[in-house]
Every structure is written in structure tokens, then in C-alpha cells.
Structure 1
Amino acid sequence: MAQQALPVLQPHPSCTACDLATWPGLESPGLPTRVWDGGHTEPQPKKALLLVGSHPGVEENVKGSAFVGVTGQFPNRLYIKGGNLADFADVYLTNAVRCSPRTSELVTPKAVAACREWLDQDVRVLAQCYDEVVILATGENAISSVLQRKESLRTFHQGQVADVGGVECSVFATYLAAILLPSNDPSKILAIREHLLLVWRYLKFGYLPTTVKVPPPSELVGSRVLDPSPTTKLISLDVETYGAFERNHRGRLLPRQTVFHPAKSLHWDGVQRCDLVQTCALSWRSPRGGKLRTKVYRLDRRAECDRLVSVLQRLRQCCVLGQNVPFDVLYLRAFNHRFRRVLARPHCVLYELQVLNFLQNDQRAERSLKNLSLVLGVADYRDEAVDLKKGQRYRDSSDPRAWTYNAKDAQATLLDYEFLVEAISLWYGGDTDKWSSYSRQWYNEVLWLTVQMSENGVHYDVEQLGRVHDRHQVALDWLRDRAKRLWDWPMSGKGSGKARERIIADMIQQYQPEDLGLARQYSRRVKKSRLTGKVSAGKENVWLLMGVVPSRTPDRGKLLAYRRFQRLRKVVESYTGPLLHQVSEEKKTPNQQTALVKGVAHPSWHSVPSYASDEERSFGGTSQCRITPRNPGLQTEPPKIEACRRSRFPSGALVLADESQSEIRVATGLFGDEVFIQRETAVLG
């Protein structure tokens, strides 16, 4: 394409597509996209980089220009100039929302969607002047605007192609610049640096260089391919379960994988035990020369299954590495009883890639193998022939594409591991304890503990659990009928959400203090929905009203009834209902991930903290150094549900420990705080 004149990007001052345009304090509606502070690159490059932020701030509203405030300068100075992004592209700045809101809570999905047409228009204008338009989305709102769906950095695929205004653009993402303010989390600069390096590499090369080189399929499978030698010290292991294939080797259709525990797969998906695992790939460095080797075993063939068992049996002093290695070990041990002997402690030592990723940089948002490998420059999964995430599947275990994919996973895991180990040594020094022999052994024990707990499960008395469910359901029905009869308040059902929000909002308005100072504090404590910007009907606002609504009044009775309704519904919809595989008004389909299998719950155990957040929202997870169960969340079960647990042994008993405030208790013991010691001693009696 011949280079044309520089683009002219128009403002949109007359836009009234959302409620932000009606704000009386809005001075600069519909701010236009502009070139960054460094201007255009000479000679004009072939690429344009469009950096998308969230929304204009106060200074942008006053000055009538995007990215001129305190946080607005960060993309200019740190992202573009610090990342050298203008070396190979002309850089333009815009926002997902073009009008400045009173508060960031008012930047709703509706407002983001309303401004999408202006983003489409700008991209079309840029595409007329450049061969390629690359987009860097910063923050959740920008990602949602570009992809037109809700997405977080944890699951975002860097460099993915998206249609924006009829133009195919490569899209990258990082944190919003506001995260770097001292009041937020400046430590995210390390993760931002990795994202900017990805963008720089793409702008320079036109692709993302990687180090994985998978051999052709003929060199991956079969007796001619070498097995790991008995002196191999580390192997990377990756399995492909039945969910990745349409049929087994006999031509029988395989079910889609909806659950991710062997016992659940057998029970809910109805898969045969012999079909649980289809292929297994090993990747390792040869003891002589350190050459990277990979082999794929088709486990539906008895000879290859026997061969893999024999290989693992010979590797007695070898460590097994994996991405979510407990998952792979669980399915192999359930697939064939011989794997229970060779994949067992103490002779089998487990290494988990997620542990290394967290130890090297606990602020990195990327957790999955595909996203992590791309950030580290190891592997690029964007051009895979079969996209498992979209529900596509391989034909069967004889499909060479499946061998290549399985081998690529194993290779990427090993290369990621080597990169992270070297990075830990460079960042923290060669004598760091982060990946010392003690640390490796400690995490090995933790990983085997999660395998053991996953296999054993948590046993419940189903009859007792059913009685608890029925009692709570009867109380819920009574409260629902009473609220409808006395106050015309639909606590559940169609339209109940809006009714609850309206009633709580009216009460908050009615009982607002007359004193100006108290009224301001009161207003700051009111919680609003981020999606709609309206007053929430959650427990925070209920507790706020409980402190101001007088006793023995009709409104007080409404609040007490609603608070009890919330507690009862929490038990039914979050615990008893899912465990008993029952539907509810909120969830029309049963949750198979949480449901009991023959009276046993098999939660997912997380040994690595998965907490991540940015300036806009929390991605969930836990930041505490503890093993966290989910589906069900055992650590938050009410006492009534805990009382339904049973020992897995007929005459066994359960010993429960009080772990509340465990972090405070540990800190008290470490630092010898006398006040806390006296307090804890008094509590323990």
C-alpha cells in the first residue's frame, strides 16, 4: 500500500448515546483520538499503534484533550517512550469511553458499548493510511471495548486478531496506567514491561519469535523414537484427555469433557476408564549434549502404554514437571492401576510450572501455559489448526495434529521452566532460597498432598445434607410468601432483582443523615453496582441501613426479613443445592463441578495463590499462602454443612481445627506481640 496523508480523527461533541453525555459538569464531550506527545515518526512507518485507555479524567475534561492528566502522562512516558514503541509505528491515543465521568463507577459496559462505533471509525481511518493497525488495550474497559466481550488479563491471548470496524487488528493488552500510582500497585511495572516487550517485538518483526521447534509427527510416535534414558534427571509430562478427541481408537464417540476430575468424568460425562487418557507426551534434555527431545505415547495402544509405564519405572531418580501436574497425575493414576505404582512418592518428585511462575514474578497475570509461553517468548499457540477452547476436537489419537499439539505443550513446559529457573537466579541471586533443594522438596510434598486429597475426596452424609436443604428451602418459601403478602416485595423470581435494588435505594435515600458531614460519610459507604451504577442490594448496604433504621418499625422488619432471606438463600444456592445437584431460581442448570459423586465431593485444590487484580476489578483467588479448595469451597462452609461431613472410613472420625485468623496467630508467634498473645490466650481459654 502506498503511504498516504496523515489521518484526520474527528471529535464527537454531539454524541448522546449514553448517560455520561447528560452530566452537567462535562466540558469536553466525545474527546477525539490523538497522536502521542512524541508526534509522528519520520519517515512514515507502515504500522499504526492505537493505545486504548479506559476514560478521560478531570484534567482531560478541562483541557479537552485525551491523556494529559497525571495518569494520562504514564502511557506517553512509560508505555510508549519507555517501551520504544514509537520506533516502528506511529502511535495514537484514545479511550474506550470518550466522555469524562463523575466517578469511574459510572463507566459501565453500556457506556463502553455506546462508544464502540467511534473506535471502529478511527480504526477504519487509520487503516486507510497504514498497512496494519495494532491495538494495545490497557485495562478491563479497553479490552472489553476492543473484543466486545468481558475478558481479563489472566485469560487474554496476547496478539490475537480481532475485527474492529471491519479491519483485522492484532490486539495486545496490559494494565491501565493508573495501577502504577503509589496508592494502587506500582509493582505491576514488571508485568507491564513484559507486555510492552511483546508489542515492541511484534512491531519490529511482524511476528512473535519463539524457541519451540516441534519435530514432524513421524519423529514423535513409535518404537523407533528414543525413550528417555534412565539417567535423565527431569522430564516434562503432558497428557491429552478424552475431551480433546471426537472418537477413541475403536471409532466410538467420546463425550465432551465438562468436568476435570477422574471420578467426575466417569460419573457425569460417562466416559469409560480406558478412554480417560488418549495420549501422553514427554520432553527432556538428553544427558549427553543437552539436546531437547520429545516423544508422544498413544495410551489407547497396549504396547505403548506398557512402554510408558516401563519408562517411568526406570526413571526412579527423575523429577516430573508439568503445568497443573496434579491433573495429569490424577488422570494417569485413574486410567491404569500400573501408573499408581510408578507415579507415587517417595520415588516420584513433582515440579509444578505454576509454582515457578509465581516465585519468579508473583505480579504476572498470565497463568495458563499458552499465555505464559507467549509472554516468555517460548511458544505461540495462535495458529493452531484445532482450537480446543472453541470446542473444536481432534479426530482420534491417530491424528498427527494431536501429537504435535501434545508435544508442543510438553516442550513449552520444559522451556518455560528453564527460563523461569534462570530468571529466579538472575533476579534474586544464585544463593536464593526460592528454588533451593528444600523449597523443591516442600512443594513436592504439597503437590502430592493435593493429589492425595483429590483422590480421597470429602465424604458427606447425603441424608443429613438433604434434611438441611429441605429445612432451609421451607424457611425460604415462608419468607418469600410473607414478604409478598405484607409488603408486596418479591424477594426472588423474575424482576425481583430490580425490586430489591429499588427498595434498598429508597431506604438509603429516606434515612440519609441531615448533618452535611455525616451525609458525606454515609454516601461514601453506599455500594453501587459497577455494571449498572445503581445502588446495590447486597449485604454491605443492608448492614449500613441496619445502623440507621429505627427498631420496631416496618422498614426494620423488612431489613431483618431480607437479611435472613439472604443467609438462607446463600446456604441453599451455594452449598446444599450444588452438592445435591439441584437447580435453583438463580441457576437453572445443576453444577456438576460441585455435585457429590456417590456421597463424595472432589474439590479442586489450588496450591499456588491465584490472586490478581488491577485498578478496575479483582480477578478473584486468594493471596494467602494456603491450599485453597474450590467447587465446593470447603473453607467457607457454614457449621451446618460442616456437620454433614463424614470420615471415609466406616468407623473413622473427623478432627476439625479452627483456622480462623490463622495469619494473625502466626504473626503473633513470630514477633512475640504481648498484647496479641494475651488476647489469643484469653480466647483459647
Structure 2
Amino acid sequence: MPQLSNHPPRLRRVICLDIETYGALPTNPPQHHFVPERSAHLDGVPAYRQILTCAITPCWCDGDLTTLEPAPTMVLDLTQPTGLTLLSKWLRWCDTLLGMNLLFDLHYLAYRSPLLNITRYRPLLVDLSIINYLHSEIRPERSLKSLGPILGTHVYRDTLSTGTINTYEELRAYNAQDTHNTVLAIAALARLIRRDFPNTDKLSSSCLSFYSDAIYSCLAMTLAGVPFSWSALRTLRRTLEERRQQLLSTTPIPLEGAGLQKGRQEFLARLLEEAPSILDDELLVYTSAKRQISFNALNRTIFRTHLSPSSPLLPLLDAIDEHAHIRKILSSYLIPMMEGRQERKDRSSVLVLPPSTTPYPLNRDVRTSHPTWFITPSPFKDSSLEGGTLQGRITCKRGSHQTDPPEIQRCRCSRYRDGVLLSMDLSQIELRVAALLSGEETLLRAFQENLDLHTNRARDIWGDDVLISRYPNLADLPPTQWKTNPSFNRRERQVGKRVSFADLFRSGARTMRSSVYNDIGELFPLSFFADIVRNRPRHRPTLHAWQERLLHQAATQHYLVLPVTGQSRYFFQGEKHLDSEIVNFPVQTTASNTLLRIQAYTQRHLPPHCLIYLNVFDALYIDCPSPDSAEYARLVLAQALEWVATSDYWAILQEHVGRTVPLKADFTIKANADDAQ
């Protein structure tokens, strides 16, 4: 597999592609879904009718994006066999494929025909939305129509600028303009990047290859879909609905519907009567509008700490918390998956039957969810962050499976009758990134010598004498084994773990206090965490100094740029949690990049029917047809980890900073028989 390189790219056979789908013409069925699997199953439009036209603009190019010029454009009719044949020849010929929101186009093309699956040819993929992001992630203009005027490259004709198309001829003209204008916009933005960021890796081969591989990885995941057991989802929904009704009928205060607000105010009055000290709690949250005590989850946690263990209000708080949790799972996850969003007129399940194009027997109980993946924030909508994160991590929406709660995760199962689900979690990747980038000696030594980082952080906080006096058996154990003491592991080491991550993002005392309470149910004095914040420069001196340099750089030039990938982010005074966001950006983005590079290698070396279906920032999930194939996939993941660490992204970063940090991963295999539901 090609490795990332900082050499300038050499582009030769370049084309730009754009498709128009069935919803573009008023004579066709309306397009409610923008994923081909749902277009087929829910809109009722078969694959051969989903794509109407495909425009191809060949490009003159003198080796890099700044020199692109569009040649005459052709528009192919993809409802006809000749159009498919011509397009497959263009895809085979090109070494660079340009587009706008390429993931959408390539997904529909791959679903249309195996001949149009771009992974057969693997040209370099360059997306205008990514080039736009690389120049400015805060630019509100994201669509082709709005980018043209600000770049001075193009303006759509009046009859097409509104997006209202009535005839097939207008559709062809609109389609042709899109590819022509995409070429002009990419070239203009590339020249702006070269002017505004002259000494960065933006537009380098490493940057373009990284994003090209990210598009391929997201395409593979959206084609695979996240597999769920339909019967497990139905059972979970029935169980939760029954429990919800039970809580509504047995709890003496309203939990929803009429009387909810009045009931909450009466409950708060009883709380304050029993525990007036609640009003003095520094963590108490008030509503912004009326400055009333909020009834959110954090405040409910605070209420508990001020009530006596025998208080009759504690069971009510338990019921309120359980009801809120059940409603969240039902309204945010189960019902949208099984019935569709309430605000949509065409409410229907987003889950579809997986295709039967496999030699392995399928599990007929399985339905797959095909989310929309975002590689950058809001790739094609103007003035709204529809997807992606400013921290540079890929995200999926409709459904948001990266945040599935455990109850939903347990409903996932292999689409194969004898299949298993394989997962790989990068171990402490954000802490390893911080060690690598900052050079913090305590972190470097912990990873290089396989020490227990969280135990050592607890030792910093309390001191060995205090800990050994509290747990005498620790005196006979090396610190790497202290976590075998259940009480120490549950309390002090858990605090050390929370503080270790708080160090990375410069969390304040109040944030740490509430987080630790959620972790272990103990409310430490605020002064305890204030001491931790005050002592950070002493306990993490090099990390603190590195963070100070980041803060200074962001304050003076208002942005940070990462090496190798060229990702950047602007920062301005007045932003919420500004310091934390600044020091967070290089850590979380680099961690996510590391997993994406592992995914790129794995995707190209897996057996055909082992499907990567989900990336959750520091973990990958693969659906395998059999236990043997899962073991093979695990070996491929291990090879990918080694390749990234010794030859690719992580190795380049290590050379860049002049130090080494080992990578480590944990693997889990789950058979369908292991499902809890």
C-alpha cells in the first residue's frame, strides 16, 4: 500500500465527476432518502433508475491542483448501457478523480453496478468540500453556487441558479456546469492555500492521500452498513416501553406530559426543604432564561449528594433518572431507526435488508443501517455545521452510531448466519498522542516502560505514604500491580484516570469534580481539584509548556496547522472553552488520523466479505463471515497497526518530533450467540 509522502503530487489523468439522481426531475418519484439502499427500499426506486446523468469533465493539468483547467464536458445517460460502459472506461483511465461531495456520488455509483465501484480502480480522490475545508473550516459558503462568486470562478445561469429543473435538457446543462465549476473552484482554492499557508503540508501528497483514503474508508463503511438484529431491537423497545409505563404509573410525581413542570417545581421545593444546602453548591446549574434551578442530569446528581441515605426522595430521583434514560434511548435511537424521524413526512425505518450478493449464508433477522459519513464539517450545506467536527474527526449522521448507548450496541450482530463481530480499540491513544507531540517525560516513560499511568497519577495526587497507609498491602506490590487492590482501583486509581485525561484538555476544578462524582459517586471538595490544577505545571511540566506554546500560537496567528495532513482550525477570543479547544485540537485530531490510517491499510488487505462497518474515533468494527475469517482480520489489523507505527503516519510523526511512543490495541470477538437480546 502506498505510504504517505510529503513530496508534491504529480497529477496526470484527471477528470471531474458529478451525478444527478432521480429526485432532480419533477416527473420522477420524490427523493426522500439520499443513500441508495434507502432509495431502493424506502423510496421504491431500483438501482438502475436512481442515477439519471453523470457529467465528466477531463482536465488539463501541469502536475498539481493549482494548474487545473477544465476541458469540454460530456454528460452520460446512466439509464442506458452505453453510458455505464463509457463511465467505467473513464474511471479505469483516470489517476485522479475530482468532485463535490464525492462520497454521495461514489456510493450511488457503486450501488448501481460493480463496474462503477471506484474501489476497483482506486484513483486519487480530491473533493472540493475538503479543499474548501483545508483553506478555511469556518467559511460559511460550502455549496458550488455560493463558492463561485466569492472565488470569482463561476456564476450559474439564472434559470438554473434556483435549483429548479423542469426538463431533461435543463438537467444535463446543470450537471455539466457542476463538474466544470468544480474544477475551477478546486484550482482557485488550491492557489489560495498555497498563498495563505505556504509552509504547511496542505496540498502535499501526504495530505491529499490521507483524505483520499478517508473517502475510500467512509465509502466502504456506508456500503457495508451497521448490522442490527431486528428481533433484538423489537425486544428492547418492548421492554423499555413496558418499563416506561410502569414508571409512569408507580411514580407519585409526573414524569412527562401535563403537569410535568408543576410537578418538578413541587419536587424541587421538597428537596430544598429537606436539604437547603443544595443552594450553596458551587456546581448547581440554573436555567439561562429564568435563572431557575435546572432539572438536568448534573443537578440531579448534585441533589443526591445533599440528601441523607434514608431520604424518601432518593427513590424518586432514581425513577426520574431511569425514565429520562429510557426516553433518550427510545426517542434518539430506537424509534428513529425503526420508524424514522418524527419530523419527516415519509416516516419509515432506516434499516434495510442486507444485499444477498455473498457466498455466505445470511442471518435473515439482520437489518443494516447506512448512515451518511462526514469527513469534514458540513461538506455541502451553506452556513450550517451539518456533520463532521471542528476537531477533524469523521462522524456519521442519520443514524449517529458512534454514540449508540450500550443497550443499542448489544443489538448489533453479524449479517452472516455463522458470523462474528470483531473490534479493535486503540489503547489510550489520546494520551499516547499527547506524549508524542509534547515530549512529556512522565507520559513517555509510562508508555515506553509499560507503567500504569493512572496509578502513577494517583500517586502524584495523594503521595505513596498516604496511599500505603490507607491500603497496607500496596507496600508489598510494585506500582504496576496496585490496581489489583479493588478498593484502590475503584477509588484513587479511577480519580487518577480522570485527572490524566483532564490534564490533556486543561479541565478546570469544577469539571473534574463533577466528572469524578459521576465516575465513583463521591463528591470531593472543590479545593482538592483546585490543588490538582495548580500543581499541573509541576507534575506534567513538559506537557504544560507545550500547551502554553499552543495557546500562544493560537492567540498570535489565530489558527493551528497540523503536520503531514495539513488540517487546521481557527480560534478567536470569546469562544466557549477556548483554551481547552486549542489544546484538544491536535490531540483528538491526531488520534483520529491514526485510526483512519490503520483503517485504510486494513480495508485494502481484508478478505472481500469482511466488512468494516463503523469507526468510533479510537475503535474499528468489522463484520466477519466466520470465526476463521475474524482471526485473519485480526492479523490484518495487527499488521496495519505495525505498518502505521513503523512506515506510515505515526512513523512520520515520530520522525517529525524526534521521539518514539509505541502503539497498542485490544481486540474483541463477539459471536451472534453472545448477543444479550
- TM-score normalized by the length of structure 2: 0.55
Distance 1:649 1:515, change over 3 A: closer
Report how far residue 379 of structure 1 moved.
Answer: 3.6
Q: 2:179 matched to 1:410? A: yes
- TM-score normalized by the length of structure 1: 0.55
In structure 2, how many angstroms separate the alpha carbons of the residues matched to 1:395 and 1:241?
A: 14
Distance 1:537 1:414, change over 3 A: farther
- The equivalent of 2:72 in structure 1 is 293
Distance 1:364 1:282, change over 3 A: same
- The equivalent of 1:424 in structure 2 is 193
Q: 2:145 aligns with which of 363, 370, 378?
A: 370
In structure 2, how many angstroms separate the alpha carbons of the residues matched to 1:383 and 1:510?
A: 67
Report how far residue 544 of structure 1 moved.
Answer: 3.6
In structure 1, how many angstroms separate the alpha carbons of the residues matched to 2:278 and 2:350?
A: 49
Q: 2:354 matched to 1:580? A: no
Distance 1:311 1:669, change over 3 A: closer
Report how far residue 386 of structure 1 moved.
Answer: 7.0
Report how far residue 324 of structure 1 moved.
Answer: 1.2
Partner amino acid for 1:241?
T
Partner amino acid for 2:76?
Y
Contact 1:321 1:350 in 2 (8 A): yes
Distance 1:542 1:669, change over 3 A: same
Distance 1:406 1:588, change over 3 A: closer
In structure 2, how many angstroms separate the alpha carbons of the residues matched to 1:497 and 1:661?
A: 43
In structure 2, how many angstroms separate the alpha carbons of the residues matched to 1:285 and 1:582?
A: 42
Contact 1:459 1:600 in 2 (8 A): yes
Contact 1:501 1:536 in 2 (8 A): no
Contact 1:457 1:602 in 2 (8 A): yes
- The equivalent of 1:626 in structure 2 is 393
SS in 1 for 2:235: helix
Sequence identity, in percent?
Answer: 27
Distance 1:555 1:427, change over 3 A: same
- The equivalent of 2:19 in structure 1 is 239
Partner amino acid for 2:189?
L
In structure 2, how many angstroms separate the alpha carbons of the residues matched to 1:283 and 1:468?
A: 50
**CA offset digits 1:536-573 (Å, max 9, x no partner):** 54323333433334443343333221111111112222
In structure 2, how many angstroms separate the alpha carbons of the residues matched to 1:668 and 1:257?
A: 49
Q: Whose RCO is larger (CA < 8 A, sep 6+)? A: 2
Q: 2:82 aligns with which of 303, 310, 333?
A: 303
Contact 2:87 2:116 in 1 (8 A): no
Partner amino acid for 1:366?
E
Q: CA RMSD in A?
A: 3.7
Partner amino acid for 1:577?
I
SS in 2 for 1:541: helix
Whichever structure has more helix as a proportion of its residues is 2
Report how far residue 582 of structure 1 moved.
Answer: 6.7
In structure 2, how many angstroms separate the alpha carbons of the residues matched to 1:501 and 1:371?
A: 47
1:277-356 alignment, distance < 5 Å:
277-286=51-60, 290=69, 292-313=71-92, 315-317=93-95, 319-340=96-117, 343-356=118-131
SS in 2 for 1:459: strand
In structure 2, how many angstroms separate the alpha carbons of the residues matched to 1:291 and 1:658?
A: 44
In structure 2, how many angstroms separate the alpha carbons of the residues matched to 1:680 and 1:596?
A: 43
Q: 2:407 matched to 1:644? A: no
Q: 1:565 aligns with which of 315, 319, 323?
A: 323
Partner amino acid for 2:139?
R
1:231-630 alignment, distance < 5 Å:
233-247=13-27, 254-286=28-60, 290=69, 292-313=71-92, 315-317=93-95, 319-340=96-117, 343-380=118-155, 383-385=158-160, 387-388=162-163, 392=164, 394-396=165-167, 398=168, 400-429=169-198, 432-483=200-251, 486-487=252-253, 489=254, 491-493=255-257, 495=258, 498-499=261-262, 502=265, 506=269, 518=280, 521=282, 525-528=284-287, 536-581=294-339, 592=348, 594-597=350-353, 599-610=367-378, 621-630=388-397
In structure 1, how many angstroms separate the alpha carbons of the residues matched to 2:115 and 2:94?
A: 15
In structure 2, how many angstroms separate the alpha carbons of the residues matched to 1:376 and 1:660?
A: 44
Q: 2:424 matched to 1:667? A: no
In structure 1, how many angstroms separate the alpha carbons of the residues matched to 2:157 and 2:312?
A: 60
In structure 1, how many angstroms separate the alpha carbons of the residues matched to 2:286 and 2:429?
A: 29
- The equivalent of 1:186 in structure 2 is none
Report how far residue 636 of structure 1 moved.
Answer: 1.4
Q: Which moved more, 1:666-675 or 1:495-504?
A: 495-504
SS in 1 for 2:57: strand
Report how far residue 291 of structure 1 moved.
Answer: 5.5
Contact 1:274 1:300 in 2 (8 A): yes
1:155-174 alignment, distance < 5 Å:
none
In structure 2, how many angstroms separate the alpha carbons of the residues matched to 1:382 and 1:348?
A: 32
SS in 2 for 1:608: coil
Report how far residue 500 of structure 1 moved.
Answer: 6.3
Report how far residue 346 of structure 1 moved.
Answer: 4.7
In structure 1, how many angstroms separate the alpha carbons of the residues matched to 2:418 and 2:52?
A: 39
In structure 2, how many angstroms separate the alpha carbons of the residues matched to 1:356 and 1:618?
A: 16
**CA offset digits 1:392-423 (Å, max 9, x no partner):** 5x335x2x322222122212221121112111
Contact 1:500 1:537 in 2 (8 A): no
Contact 2:57 2:70 in 1 (8 A): no
Partner amino acid for 2:433?
V
In structure 2, how many angstroms separate the alpha carbons of the residues matched to 1:554 and 1:665?
A: 46
**CA offset digits 1:473-525 (Å, max 9, x no partner):** 11111111112xx23x1x234x4664466457656876885799x37x46xx4
In structure 2, how many angstroms separate the alpha carbons of the residues matched to 1:369 and 1:538?
A: 42
Distance 1:290 1:414, change over 3 A: closer
In structure 2, how many angstroms separate the alpha carbons of the residues matched to 1:515 and 1:502?
A: 15
In structure 2, how many angstroms separate the alpha carbons of the residues matched to 1:654 and 1:353?
A: 35
Contact 1:610 1:623 in 2 (8 A): no
In structure 2, how many angstroms separate the alpha carbons of the residues matched to 1:540 and 1:514?
A: 16
Report how far residue 338 of structure 1 moved.
Answer: 2.4
Contact 1:603 1:631 in 2 (8 A): yes
Contact 1:581 1:590 in 2 (8 A): no
Consecutive unaligned residues in structure 2, runs of 5 or more: 1-10, 63-67, 355-366, 456-479, 485-677
- The equivalent of 1:66 in structure 2 is none
In structure 2, how many angstroms separate the alpha carbons of the residues matched to 1:417 and 1:611?
A: 14
SS in 2 for 1:239: strand
SS in 1 for 2:306: coil
- The equivalent of 1:179 in structure 2 is none
In structure 2, how many angstroms separate the alpha carbons of the residues matched to 1:554 and 1:632?
A: 40
1:28-177 alignment, distance < 5 Å:
none
Report how far residue 434 of structure 1 moved.
Answer: 1.7
Q: What is the number of residues matched between the two proteins?
A: 423
Contact 1:529 1:536 in 2 (8 A): no
SS in 2 for 1:338: helix
Report how far residue 632 of structure 1 moved.
Answer: 1.9
